[in-house]
Amino acid sequence: MSKVTVMNETNKDVIRVLYENGFSLKDISEQKYLIIADHEEFNNSCFLAKDVNELEAFIEVLTKDKEESK
């Protein structure tokens, strides 16, 4: 598993290499919550939420989907 974390810094060479290798890059500086999942049907998934309302809506859908799949 690879992880690249750069806070408050932009390295154009790193961004170029990642982009050329299929990574989708997003500025998350305005996001309050970052959820990274690596289990079940969410392998290598990422969810960004700008506030607690978006986070709660995500959790509600996640819980509902899990209950319906039982």
DSSP states along 8-68 = S---HHHHHHHHHTTPPP---TT-SEEEEE-SGGGTTEEEEESSHHHHHHHHHHHHHHHHH
In our burial notation (b when 16+ CB lie closer than 10 A, e otherwise), range 24-48 reads eeeeeeeeeeeeeeeeeeeeeeebe
The number of domains in the chain is 1
Domain that holds residue 32: 12-68
Residue 61 lies in a domain: yes
In tens digits, the chain (70 residues) has pLDDT values of 445 555 556 677 877 888 888 887 777 777 788 777 776 666 667 788 888 898 889 888 888 877 787 6
Asked, for residue 41, whether it belongs to a domain, the answer is: yes
0.75 surpassed by pTM: no
